[in-house]
């Protein structure tokens, strides 16, 4: 079966985080704070948007229903689904939209904060895969195939000057920069050192293992990640946590700690089944615990077992 009809594509992944550098062999793009998205676009069959777990996203962003009319040929694109709020990408808004189920509320939100799809790669053109083409050839195809408007566009990039772009991203309060080797091919679901990131703030995916209620109606989440199949403790995050909103995702209470050994300093914890994945943003550190962590939201496109302990901490 043709891959366009089959769907289920797992996008290529960024392998690691590094300090910003300059090189004539790489291009640099601003990292958007949104939801990774595969777009299947066909002038006859319409628009189909899927996240990394192949969940359909178009019902949550009906304002993108017609973006297939903005491509010259049948194609599969890799990109980012995001919402701008005061000129800056707002992960909370796009994540909130992705969890909405009421069509009326979705329509209201779409009118107030319309979503946009930015394409930064092309996987399939007309009737064949183009993954084996070097990145720069794929970029040329991408620019040719898309007729840009407010709802779909092509990611801009610069050559050689990665450090300058990173500094500009930092000054603008953006998430960071993605560096890509010019001759890189595209591999489904593979982490490759041909794509790396420069982050202003580090982000990690963690499992919510429990919570502790604190003074002033604040809540601290207990975090974990997997290391060789074992769930290990990664500390707490309090800033940005709203327990009432969190309970909408479903918190299944667990009588005992999900860790093999209950971590010290968690007296009075309410333990939950380690099922929910969240994003934690923090200052860079070489310690095992997060530095000034901030809760950024729930990820429904990632499984708990995908939350692996980084080996460079």
Task: Please determine, looking at this structure, whether the domain spanning 10-199 carries the CATH number 3.20.20.140.
Answer: no
Instruction: Give yes or no for a contact between 177 and 28, defined as CB atoms under 8 angstroms apart.
Output: yes
The per-residue pLDDT for 43 is 83
Q: Does 245 score more than 70 pLDDT?
A: yes
Name every residue whose Cβ is closer than 8 Å to that of residue 220 and which is 6 or more positions away in sequence: 211, 212, 214, 236, 237, 238, 241
> Residue range 184-197: average pLDDT?
93
CA atoms within a 13 Å half-sphere pointing along the CA-CB vector of 98: 26
Q: How far is C-alpha 163 from the chain's CA centre?
A: 23
User: What's the pLDDT tens digit per position in 211-239?
Assistant: 999 888 899 999 999 999 999 999 999 98
Q: Domain 202-306: give its CATH code.
A: 2.40.50.140
Greater pLDDT, 266 or 50: 50
Q: For the chain, how big is the Rg over CA atoms in Å?
A: 20
* Residue labelled with tokens 């899927």: 50
| pLDDT classification of 288: cutoffs 50, 70, 90 | low
Candidates 83, 78, 87, 111; CA nearest to 96 is: 83
| Closest among 29, 11, 13 to 155, alpha carbons compared | 29
pLDDT, average across residues 178-189:
96
Spans of all domains in the chain: 10-199, 202-306
Gap between the terminal Cα atoms of the chain: 44
This prediction's pTM? 0.74
CB 309 within 8 A of CB 225: yes
């Amino acid at each position: 079966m043709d891959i366009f009809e089959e769907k289920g594509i797992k996008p290529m992944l960024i392998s690691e985080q590094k300090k910003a550098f300059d090189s004539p062999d790489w291009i640099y793009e601003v990292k958007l704070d949104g939801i990774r998205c595969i777009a299947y676009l066909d002038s006859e069959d319409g628009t189909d948007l899927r996240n990394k777990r192949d969940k359909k996203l178009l019902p949550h962003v009906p304002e993108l229903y017609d973006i297939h009319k903005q491509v010259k040929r049948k194609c599969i694109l890799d990109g980012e689904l995001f919402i701008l709020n005061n000129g800056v990408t707002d992960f909370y808004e796009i994540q909130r939209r992705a969890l909405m189920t009421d069509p009326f509320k979705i329509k209201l939100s779409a009118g107030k904060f319309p979503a946009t799809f930015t394409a930064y790669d092309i996987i399939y053109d007309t009737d064949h895969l183009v993954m084996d083409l070097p990145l720069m050839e794929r970029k040329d195809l991408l620019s040719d195939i898309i007729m840009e408007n407010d709802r779909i566009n092509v990611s801009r990039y610069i050559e050689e000057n990665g450090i300058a772009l990173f500094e500009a991203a930092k000054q603008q309060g953006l998430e960071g920069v993605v560096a890509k080797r010019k001759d890189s091919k595209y591999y489904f679901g593979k982490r490759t050192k041909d794509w790396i990131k420069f982050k202003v703030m580090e982000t990690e995916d963690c499992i919510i293992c429990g919570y502790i209620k604190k003074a002033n109606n604040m809540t601290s989440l207990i975090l974990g990640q997997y290391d060789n199949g074992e769930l290990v403790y990664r500390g707490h995050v309090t800033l940005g946590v709203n327990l009432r909103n969190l309970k909408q995702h479903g918190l299944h209470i667990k009588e005992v700690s999900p860790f093999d050994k209950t971590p010290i300093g968690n007296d009075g914890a309410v333990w939950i089944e380690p099922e929910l994945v969240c994003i934690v943003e923090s200052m860079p550190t070489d310690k095992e615990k997060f530095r000034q962590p901030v809760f950024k939201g729930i990820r429904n496109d990632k499984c708990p077992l995908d939350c692996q302990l980084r080996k460079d901490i």
